[in-house]
Amino acid sequence: MICINFIVCLYFDFDFLPKSRFIETEDFKTIKLLNILFSIASFLMDIVFITQKDALINGLITDKKEKDSTIKDLVKTNAELMKHQMLINHLSEENILEILNLAENNSPMFFEKFQVFFPHFIPDILKINPNLIHSELYFCALMKLDFDTKKIAQCTNNSIRAVESKKYRIRKKLNISSEINVNSFLIKI
């Protein structure tokens, strides 16, 4: 709009271009002045809109940074709560490290040790749904240790997509709503 107005203003300055017969010579100066004022007003309105958008973008960036820091704090708190819960279950730091090490190395001893350290977990899961198969119980054990999808994929030599599918099936079998984090649900059991 601003460019069009400036071009129109320039048009009235060129004497060799034909001018409208219906506009008198005195009115050309008024039209030119109105076009310039309209151009300036449009330019100022654009500046106001740009500054508002800039303020909105800066606000969104600030909100994202705050949410990211909150998420990091929650993840840290969740990890601390998981360790605290394991200690409540009479697990020493050595036992915790041992079971985490077995899980990370995909050791066949992991599931047996897990059942020793968490004797009530598997029966409680089976009370919710007795149709869970061994591999789903294994995934539940890894999620109880608060392993994320990527870490579970590394530990079980599966793709991330396969782990996501397995977690989705477990969520459905245990009737966990989509608003609840599966790991948080299983940690509480």
Question: Concatenated DSSP letters for 142-182?
Answer: HHHTT--HHHHHHHHT--HHHHHHHHHHHHHHTT--TTS-H
Mean pLDDT in residue range 75-80:
75
| Residue 118 counted as domain residue | yes
- Per-residue pLDDT of 176-187, as tens digits, reads 888 888 877 877
- Contact status, residue 32 vs residue 51, Cβ threshold 8 Å: no
| Residue 27 counted as domain residue | yes
- Per-residue pLDDT of 150-186, as tens digits, reads 888 888 888 889 888 888 888 888 888 888 888 778 7
Q: Is the pLDDT of residue 132 over 80?
A: yes
| Residue 59 counted as domain residue | yes
Lowest mean pLDDT among 47-56, 57-66, 95-104, 133-142: 95-104
- If asked whether residues 62 and 94 sit together in one domain, one would say no
17 band by pLDDT with thresholds 50, 70 and 90: very low
- Contact status, residue 50 vs residue 9, Cβ threshold 8 Å: no
Alpha carbon distance 31, 108 (integer Å): 87
Lowest mean pLDDT among 12-21, 36-45, 70-79, 177-186: 12-21
Structure tokens at 80: 């601390």
Phi, psi at residue 93, to the nearest 5°?
Answer: -60, -35
- By residue range, what is the domain housing residue 9? 2-16+23-70
Alpha carbon distance 118, 155 (integer Å): 20
- If asked whether residues 48 and 6 sit together in one domain, one would say yes
Structural domains counted in the chain: 2
pTM, full prediction: 0.52
Within 8 A by CB and 6+ apart from 126, the residues are: 132, 137
20 band by pLDDT with thresholds 50, 70 and 90: low
Q: What pLDDT, on a 0 to 100 scale, did the predictor assign at position 13?
A: 57
